[in-house]
Each structure stands twice: as structure tokens, then as C-alpha cells.
Amino acid sequence: MDVAWEEFGWERLAPGVGRTRLPGWDATVGLVVGGAAALLFDAGSTLREGAALRGQVQGLLGGRRVTHIALSHAHFDHVLGAAAFAGAQVFGAMGLDEVLASERDALRDDAVREGVPRREAGEAVDVLVRPHHLVCGDWTLDLGDRRVLLADVGPGHTGHDLALLVPGAEGDAGGRPEGGGPPGVVFCGDLVEESGEPQAGPDAVPSRWPAALDRLLELGGAGARYVPGHGAVVDAAFVRAQRDELARRFAVS
């Protein structure tokens, strides 16, 4: 199924695959549409933002709802809108549930520090959704007539980074299929950033970050489109260059 992405302010990346760039922090939210299910990649920074995303997706899909959410990592601008999607099955990297349970106050304070009104941040944290399913290694999801791969590729940007691969064709690990079909799409979360330098906060694991980018490149291949957590879509050469720069920055071989 393909949809009129641009009518709702979304960018089409491949048939049934798109993303939007949220205001404020330019955070990416992705959507993959299958015949039986719809997967959202990240969920925005507040319940209000999550509700707006829910309305956009239902408009895109003619009333269908988001059935699955994959959270790339535990920063407020990617997780605090998830509670707006009642009934969705939520996935995260192994260990994400513990972070979201133990760092609620820190999430709220980070959101407020970055400009989210205290009341909105508090409301979102009060109903914070922890993952129902934890991904260790790879997890294939069947969305009905298409399969996608969730991969626990971290640590790197945080201790628990999840990526999403939408293959370019059935059975194709990534890249551009034979016959000129659409390329694979890799949603990278904040392991890759295009709109600025990758941000290494106190929860980053710099020594492992280059290896996480190696894993992304292995997943997508040379021909895939790579979708950063912030910024424009990039290619494998950009990811490889960012990997090498991070290795130099943190003195990793």
C-alpha cells in the first residue's frame, strides 16, 4: 500500500515507507506500512506531539491505526509521545525498559531544559510507555505482505540503540535490488546525524559507536538510504565518513 505522504507533510522514502521531521529538534519519525500493520519509528517529544502524529498517520492510512512502535533510544524527543498510541505494541533494545523505569526524572528534566513546558513534560513522563518487547540481536516483524528487521545495534549514541531496516525487495538484505527497484531504507536513530555533529551525552558509549555504525552499514549495504535521527536522508558514504570521524574523535581503531 502506498499513500499520499506529501499531503500530510511527510517525505516518501520508498513504497509504503516515509518519515516526517518534527519541529523544534528536527527529530525524525518514520512510518512503514504493511497490509496488516503499521510501524512507527519513534514517537515525538510530548503527548501533544504524539497525538498530532497519530492524527496524521490515521489521515495517511484512511483511518488505520499504528499497531507497532519501535523506539530508537531513551531520549525525550524520541519516546515521550508514545503513550498517545493506545494499543500499539512497543519495541526497544534490550535494557531500554530499565532505563525508562529508572531515569524518569532525568527524562522530564532534560525535556524541560530543552524547552518543553514543565507540565507537558511531567504529563508525558507520568504515562511513559516502556517496551513490551525487547530486541536482543535481530527481530523480524511481519507487517502483512512485507517484513522489516529491528536490530539492537548499540551501544553507541546511548547504551541501548535500536535501528530499523526496511529491505529494498523481498529477500534483499539492503541496497538496490536487481531491476532498478527501490533501495532499502535504514532508520538509524541518533547513531547518525546530518544536521549537526553526533551528540555524545553522558549516556553515550563512544568506544562502541563506530562499531554500531559498521553494523548499520552491514544491514543496509552500499545502496541503501540511511535516515538519521536528525537531518536529511544520507547515503552509505556519509555514514562511513561519520563512522571514521567518530573513531578519530574518540581515538577508536
Per-residue pLDDT tens for 185-222? 999 999 999 999 899 999 999 999 999 999 999 999 99
d(CA 66, CA 32): 10
Confidence class of residue 4 from pLDDT cuts 50, 70 and 90? confident
pLDDT at 171 over 60: no
Percent of the chain with pLDDT over 90: 90
Distances (CA, A) of 40 to 35, 68, 89, 115: 15, 6, 10, 24
Per-residue pLDDT tens for 28-57? 999 999 999 999 999 999 999 999 999 999
Rounded to 5 degrees, φ, ψ at 246 are -65, -40
Confidence class of residue 1 from pLDDT cuts 50, 70 and 90? low
With b for 16 or more beta-carbon neighbours within 10 A and e for fewer, the 129-166 pattern comes to bbbeebbeeebebebeebebbbbbbbbbbbbbbbbbbb
Q: Count Cα neighbours of 78 within 13 Å in the Cβ-side half-sphere.
A: 29
Q: Which three cell numbers stand for residue 179?
A: 531491476
Handedness of CA 132, 135, 141, 147 (dihedral sign): positive
